[in-house]
Each structure stands twice: as structure tokens, then as C-alpha cells.
Structure 1
């Protein structure tokens, strides 16, 4: 069995799971400090609820995919790559947004969570439900992103789900190391490295999504003469034609095929294609420049603010 497709989901759920674990750890620590540990059960209930609903969303997505694929057998070859492309775009948007947002909000996370808990505890009777909702949506948000990513790669079977499970278990272990056993982990370095991995994974998803749309349009054009005009590159590029992706940039299928090791690792992690076209290459570079630029700017802003805070504390100490 090829487990290479489990690597991207492992990395994504590990990173997103650690974010959720930070929220859970902050909540539990605050409740202990406020002598409200009797509300811990609501925290664990929120975790369980978020995981269950995430799994249900995954099952629902799988049902929708199967239903659309079997609703019209004639166009089933078109629906499958089209759905993969649509889910890929959704995953690209969600993961990119979370990558940038979490980096910008990371230095404020503790204060925001503690402020939300403090406001919730003032509600007395509604405190338990408020804490449950805070944890539930934190876990669900991370789980939903993983579900979208797996849905974008649903043709790879259960292997991505195994990677997601391993990522969740690892994130829980890191949470225990941080909050239960007091082990110090450089979270800034962790999120920086995982963020770069995530950026490359989502960039690869951009390449894959365009490939899926090209396959869907090409298949439709071959099935329906009225749709032949959609493949506008066929008329201009007769050698190595693509339907909508333009001329070929490279063909490394004989040197480094993307379905054999080590090409399959590069394919599943970074979207490497042994046959790459102009539109895919340009889109990949633009994605890295735009989203990667915003991400690195956020990281540099985080470091700058942290340095200012340290300098301010040093000045006050003097």
C-alpha cells in the first residue's frame, strides 16, 4: 500500500491540530487558575463534538461525491475531475486564509481566548455551554479544513484519512507535552516550519486543481462536439497539447515519474507533475509570491512585535 498520500494530511492535521490544542490548553489552564475546573467536562465535550461533526461532514462529502458521480453515468468521467477541482479550490481558499490568519493572530491568541472565557464565566448558567461552543468551533474549524483537503483527493481512498488520524494523535501528544507535563517547545519555530510546508502543499494543490479542470473540460470536449471550442489551445499548440493549460513546460515522465518513488513523494507533498503546463507553472509561482509574501510578512511582523515587547520589558526592568 502506498502511504505517500498520507503525508500531506498528516502535516495539515498536525499543524491545525496543534492550533486547536493550544486553545484547549489555554482554556483548561484558565479554568484551573479561576478555580472553575468543574467545567472541564464541557471542554472535553467540545473536543468530542467537534471531532464527531468533522467526521460527519467527511461522510456527507463522500455521499455527495458518490451521488453526483452515479447520477449520470454518461458524464461520470467529467464529474469526478470537476469535483476534485472544486474541492481543491475550496481547500486552497480555506487553508491559505487560515495560514495567514493564524500567523497574524498567534501573538494575540492567549489574550483573546482568556478574554472570551472570562466573558463566558460571567454568564454563570450559560458558562458551560459557552466553553463548549468555544472548543467545539475551534476543533470543527480545523477538522473542516482537513475534510476539504481529503475531499479534494478523494480518489486516493482511505490513506489520506490515516494520515489525518496520525496528525490528530500527534497534535494531542504535543498538547499533553505543553500543558500537562510542562515540556517547552519552540512553537514559533514549529509554526514557521509547518507553515512553509503547508504553503508548498497548497501551492501543489493549485497545480492539481488546474489539472483536474483541464481533464474535465478535455473529457467533455471529446464527448460533446458543442463543447469542442472549450479546448482553445488545441488549435494553436499541436505539439503536446493541453485543453486549457497552454503549451508544456517540461516532460520528466521518463526521468522522474510522479507515480513512482521519489516522484510520488514530491507529487503528494508539493504537487510535482511530471508533465507541467504553462498555466500551472505561472499559477504556482503567483500563488507562492502572493500568499507566501503575505505569510512571510506576517511572520516578520510577529517577530518584530515580539522583539519590541522584549525590549519594552527590559526597559521597564531597568
Structure 2
């Protein structure tokens, strides 16, 4: 076994030499790839030390680790060092020193020291890349600048899209002669400083977290990163903070790294806190007043959302809704990151307020971690919001659509973090939360103005669209980070398209049309069903109590729809998932009631003598089953759409004047009344059986629609899974008119509905034929019966 292991190690080294050293010497790989190869080799060296800790004889692992560091050094010497030595000598010296330290640590089996050296190696490569990007840019070598710029890190660790990358935009504008080299250099320098200062603060946070858990190697790794990011920013800090302050910071960072290596966790905590305090006076980028206001709104929004999520997620010291609690934790962290950006500006307005806000964030972290009283969270967040309003003169509304897109961006990043770490259950919870925010805000405004875009967004969040798997499918399959990132990229593109679309105002005429479409889309189905049933009752001169029960169910549904909306706005919380469950269950109940009532009517028209039935019912009380069925029909078909209709009009109010909304509503209502009147008139003029045939087919088509739509609602609530069926077209007409969605679950439900429908009606026809084969009693005397139903 030992011989096999040693042989395998030799084979590994041969492969590594082939892939890493040979290309490096040929200098054919791009700079970012070469730097990545060095980073990967250093990481593999770290892995060897992990294995050495479990081995009976660690010496072979130590040697392998040292050889891997040597390979990284060979790549650097053969490819990157000439450029670094000439144009970025400080970075070159740091890289050489880091490689020397890394090899010594590998040889001695010192995992924490190797981790710190690895981090310093990587950040030194970034530092040199930044220097070379700016120097080649100023020299007019734009192609080289663009290549060096690819060796960088972004503000967010999970960023996978460069759609809003200011540096990339600057290079593109430079190539099109829209910017000068000096202007582009300023933009890129600001972008890089902003990114690395964010990474510096994050590295400090991670250092403290690892120290609290006594993770010596992780703590050393993060401390090394923090020191490396400080080195990148040191020259700028020297200009803005002064030499004395910067030199003191340099010593603090050196002491922090030494404390992690010595596992002096008390010193690590003190040093990290002191460094944060010293960095609070540093601003890497000079922000305009508009940029300060924009970031201030983000800080306000994230602070506000801490309590919004926490109060729904925790009750009586217990987590009641895990995803809400997790989002409270996330938004507190986001608020802290935004505050760090704005702290110098808040301190400039009121130093005491800046210090107090920092303390508030710490207190919130403690309360949330201990599952404290939501009221305590509310008091702290309210105080924090007051500080933001008084110092930055900004506020934000979490219900604002622009804010929704900001939150979505945060949650999509959270999904990628979870997938990267293998936490697929957390990724799924975050996906549902993100979709809830989309549906409760932007989607309600898009669904009538840009329905195709709304459907594409829905598909990308769920089973997929246009043959591409959606997030729900990818997470369920535990797809790779690359596959998930590709979907998130596509979502980001569509969300940007939606944000741009919604940012354009709505004209009065368009508002009228949208308002009319909402009431027609949501109300016409109910009117067709109720009109058909009332038409039956009028055509057959049936007792008025039948109609009264239909009207009673309808009135109850309208009142309950408004009451549900009012309650959700005032004293109870109905999540988007909860709303989807209400609508899904109502749809399926409507299917059952429609099926029952239509079969009941079919039975009377085709199987029994309807005229004899009506004569028998006149003067008698309604049976409980018939009465409840008709009342239930009126209730379910109206309540199914009522609550959602109120929400759609509420969303439309963001874009349009009240007068335009009312005008469109009235026009749509008049059209609905006209349709209802036409159905009732038709019921008097057409013979009973043709009328039943026409409306019966319509009712069954609507029931078929409700079956698909109901299952779809439950899918969006996370109750029913969603598997993409690629051969079913994604057609909005099919979805709206027939409830046909490209998922396996909705398709199976509708197929089952058709099977039951055919079986039931076939049984009724068989009963009719069997009845006709029996001896008939004497028919009614001519002239008796109901004239309105003559054929």
C-alpha cells in the first residue's frame, strides 16, 4: 500500500509539472491563469500538510508540499517575475518573501505559517497586477492593461457577473475613445481600492470568527489576507491618513498575524477591534453626494429589514421560520458592510452617532444570536434608522421596487455561497425567499406590463425556461457552482432588464389599459362560471333559492378577499408562500366544486327528466348538498382571484394615477357586466341542451385550467416539486387559457383530471342508456312543464 501511495504521488507530481511548469515557461497562458496556477499549487501544499497530520510518517507529505511550492516559484520566475521586477518591485519583493516563507513552513510542517504565507502570496500577486494595470494604461498600452486587470478580485466574493463592473466599462470606453487614459485610470484605481478595502474588512471579520473557534490555520490564513490587502492600500492610506497613522496600522497588522500564529486569541480580538477603529477614518473612494445618498439608502434598507425578517422568524425565544431568521442575520451583516463604507461620512456629521451606530450593530448581533425579544431588535433598529436619517438625510422603503432588486442581488449571492459550501438546503430556503420578494414586488408590476419577461423570471427561479434549468431544479439536483452561477448570471441579466423596464414611467392611457386588463383577467373567469350556472337556473325556471345561494357565496368571497388583504396589511403576516397556498387550494377546491356541479347538471339534463325534476323541487327546501355546492361554487371561483386582484391593483398604484386606475377598472367592470348579461340572455333564447353543451364545455375547460394553475401555485409555495418538461411549449396563451405549464406535476394533474372527467361522463351516458332500455311511465300530459326549456 505504501509503495502504491509513493508511486501515485510521483505520478501526481509529473502531471502537475506537465500542466503548470511547462506552460509557464512557454509563457502562453494569460497572467490571471498563471497566478491561479500558483495559488492552486500553494493550496495543494496546504492539503499535504493536512494529510501529514494524519500520517504515521509525515516527512513524505512535507517534501511533497515543499516541491509544490517550488513549482509555484518556477512558474513565477519563468513568466510573471520579469514584469513585476521591472514595474512592481514592491510586489515582487513580497512575492519572493512569501514563497520563501511558504517553502520553509512546508518543509517544517507548519500549517498556520504556510496558510499565512499563501495568503500573502496571493495578495502580493494582486498588488502587482494593480500596479501593472495602471502603469500600462498610462503608457497607452490598453491591451496589456486589460489583460493585467483580469488578475483581480471583486468587492463581493461570490460575484459572477461583470455587467456593472466599472473597470471593465472604463476599458471598453477607453477603446472607443470615450475616455482618456487618465480618466480610465482613476475609475479603475477607485474600483480596485473599493474592492480591496471591502475584502480587508471581511478578512478581519473572518479572522475574529476563526479565532473565536480556535481554528489556528484558518485564523492565520485570514490574518495573512488582511495584511496583504492592507499592503495594497497602504500607499493610498499614507496620503489620506498620514504616515504616522499608516505606520501604526502596519505594525498592528504584523502583530495580528503574529498573534494568530502564536494562538493568542485574546490579542487577536483586541488587535482586530483596534484596527477596525483605526480604519473607520479611511475612505478608499471619494464618493459624490449622489453616491453617498445611494449607499445611505442601502444602509437604511438593510437596517430596516433586520427587524422585518426577525419578527417573523423568532417568537418566544424559538426560531419559528428558519429562513426569516437567517435573512435577519444576513441583513445585519449587509448593514454592517454598508456602514463601514459610510462611517467616515456619518462621523463627519456626528462622531458620536457613528460610534453609537457601530454599537447598535454589535448589540443586534448579540440579541439575534441569543434569539432575544423581537421588540429589543425593533428598538435598536429604530434608533439606527434615526441616526441614518439625521446624519445622511436619507431614508428608504423596503416595499419600493428598486429596493427589491437590491435585496434580490444580495439573496442571489447568498445562494451561490450556500452552493459553494454544499449547503443546498440553505440555498433552497434562500431561493424561496428571493422568489417571494420578486413576486410580492416587481413581478406584480411586470405581469400585466411585460408578461413574457415575468414568465422568464419565474421559470429561471423555478423549473427553468427555454430548455435551461432553473434554480429550483439545479438546487434539487445539487448542481455544481458553475451551473448554478450560469443560471444566476441569466437571472441577473433578466432582473436588470426588468429594473430598467419598470424605471420608465407609465402613461395615463397605458395605466387605464393595465387597470382594465387586471379586472378582466382576474374577473372574467369567475363571471363566465357564475353566468353559466345562473343561466342554467334561469333557463329552467328553477327555484330562486338556487340563485340566492350562488349570490351568497359570491358576496362572502368578495368580503373575505378584502378582509384577508386588510388583515395581512395590519395585524397578521401572510407570506408569499402562504398566499400561494391559499390560491392553490382555492383553485383545486374550485375544480372539485365545478366538477360536482357540472356533473349534477349533466345528470339532470341528460340522465333524468329535467322538467320533472324542477316540478318536483318547486315549493320544497333545497337539499343541503345542492345548496352548499352552489354556494361553494360562488365562493371558490371568486375568492380564488379576489385577494390577488387587490394586490395587483396595489402594485399598479406605484406606477399610475388613481384616476387612471379607476377609469380602467370601471371600463373593465362594464365589459364583465356585458358578458354576464349576454350569457343570461343567451340562456333564455337557446334551448336547454345546446346551452348546456356550450357552457358545459366552457366550465370543464376552466376546471382544466384551474387544475394546472392550482398545482402551479402550490409549486410556487414550495409544497409541490417542479420538474421541467422540455417538449411542452412555454406559451403564455396556453398558460393563461388552459393552465398548461411545462412541468411534469401540472401535466400529470391535468391528465388525471381528463381521465376522471371522461370516466364520469361515460358512466352517466351508460346510465342514461340503461334507463332508456327500461319500461317508461306515462309521459306528462301535453302542455305541462316549463315553456322556457322547449327545444
Which bracket does the TM-score occupy, shorter chain normalised? 0.5 to 0.7
Aligned residue in 1 for 2:707: 206
Aligned residue in 2 for 1:96: 595
TM-superposed CA distance for 1:89, in Å, is 1.9
**Residue deviations 1:120-153 (CA, integer Å, cap 9, x gap):** 3xxxxxxxxx5xx659x98985464133112112
Q: Is 1:151 matched with 2:613?
A: no
Give the 3 Å change call, closer, same or farther, for CA 267–246 of structure 1 in structure 2.
closer
Q: 1:284 aligns with which of 750, 760, 768?
A: 750
Q: 2:572 aligns with which of 42, 66, 72?
A: 72
Q: 1:191 aligns with which of 677, 692, 704?
A: 692
Report the count of equivalent residues.
Answer: 237
> Partners of 2:720 and 2:777 in 1: how far apart?
55
2:597 and 2:629 in contact (8 A); partners too? no
> Partners of 1:67 and 1:145 in 2: how far apart?
24
Aligned residue in 2 for 1:172: 680
Q: Is 1:8 matched with 2:525?
A: yes
**Residue deviations 1:159-196 (CA, integer Å, cap 9, x gap):** 8977764454234323543xxxxxxx342233223222
Q: Structure 1: any 5+ residue segments left out of the alignment?
A: 28-42, 121-129, 178-184, 218-242, 314-318
Q: 1:109 aligns with which of 604, 610, 619?
A: 610
Q: Which residues in structure 2 correspond to 1:1-318 (within 5 Å)?
A: 1-2=516-517, 3-23=520-540, 25=541, 46=545, 49-50=548-549, 53-67=552-566, 69-70=568-569, 71-73=571-573, 75-106=574-605, 107-117=608-618, 120=619, 142=630, 144-154=632-642, 155-156=644-645, 165-166=673-674, 168-177=676-685, 185-217=686-718, 244-250=720-726, 252-253=729-730, 256=731, 258=732, 263=733, 266-273=734-741, 276-299=742-765, 301-302=767-768, 304=769
1:54 and 1:143 in contact (8 A); partners too? yes
> Partners of 1:115 and 1:186 in 2: how far apart?
21
Aligned residue in 1 for 2:248: none
> Partners of 1:80 and 1:55 in 2: how far apart?
20
> Partners of 1:90 and 1:161 in 2: how far apart?
26
TM-superposed CA distance for 1:198, in Å, is 1.7
Aligned residue in 2 for 1:233: none
Give the 3 Å change call, closer, same or farther, for CA 199–172 of structure 1 in structure 2.
closer
Q: Give SS of 2:745's match.
A: helix
Give the 3 Å change call, closer, same or farther, for CA 68–171 of structure 1 in structure 2.
same
Give the 3 Å change call, closer, same or farther, for CA 17–299 of structure 1 in structure 2.
farther
**Residue deviations 1:191-215 (CA, integer Å, cap 9, x gap):** 2232222222112211111111121
Q: Give SS of 1:153's match.
A: helix
TM-score, length-normalised on structure 2?
0.27
TM-superposed CA distance for 1:288, in Å, is 0.8
2:702 and 2:738 in contact (8 A); partners too? yes
TM-superposed CA distance for 1:301, in Å, is 4.7
> Partners of 1:83 and 1:162 in 2: how far apart?
28
Give the 3 Å change call, closer, same or farther, for CA 170–198 of structure 1 in structure 2.
same
> Partners of 1:208 and 1:189 in 2: how far apart?
29
> Partners of 1:162 and 1:90 in 2: how far apart?
28
Give the 3 Å change call, closer, same or farther, for CA 77–5 of structure 1 in structure 2.
closer
1:84 and 1:152 in contact (8 A); partners too? yes
1:199 and 1:288 in contact (8 A); partners too? no
Give the 3 Å change call, closer, same or farther, for CA 77–109 of structure 1 in structure 2.
same
1:7 and 1:268 in contact (8 A); partners too? no
2:722 and 2:744 in contact (8 A); partners too? yes
Greater relative contact order (Cα < 8 A, sep 6+): 1
1:87 and 1:148 in contact (8 A); partners too? yes
> Partners of 1:91 and 1:59 in 2: how far apart?
15
1:68 and 1:79 in contact (8 A); partners too? no
TM-score, length-normalised on structure 1?
0.60
TM-superposed CA distance for 1:283, in Å, is 0.9
TM-superposed CA distance for 1:291, in Å, is 2.1
Give the 3 Å change call, closer, same or farther, for CA 153–161 of structure 1 in structure 2.
farther
Q: Give SS of 1:72's match.
A: coil
> Partners of 1:161 and 1:208 in 2: how far apart?
24
> Partners of 1:53 and 1:144 in 2: how far apart?
9
> Partners of 2:577 and 2:549 in 1: how far apart?
34
Q: Give SS of 2:740's match.
A: coil
Give the 3 Å change call, closer, same or farther, for CA 280–91 of structure 1 in structure 2.
same
> Partners of 2:767 and 2:737 in 1: how far apart?
28
2:715 and 2:722 in contact (8 A); partners too? no
TM-superposed CA distance for 1:101, in Å, is 1.6
Q: Structure 2: any 5+ residue segments left out of the alignment?
A: 1-515, 650-664, 779-791
* Larger Cα-atom Rg: 2
Aligned residue in 2 for 1:235: none
> Partners of 2:735 and 2:589 in 1: how far apart?
20
CA RMSD, aligned part only? 3.8
Q: Give SS of 2:558's match.
A: helix
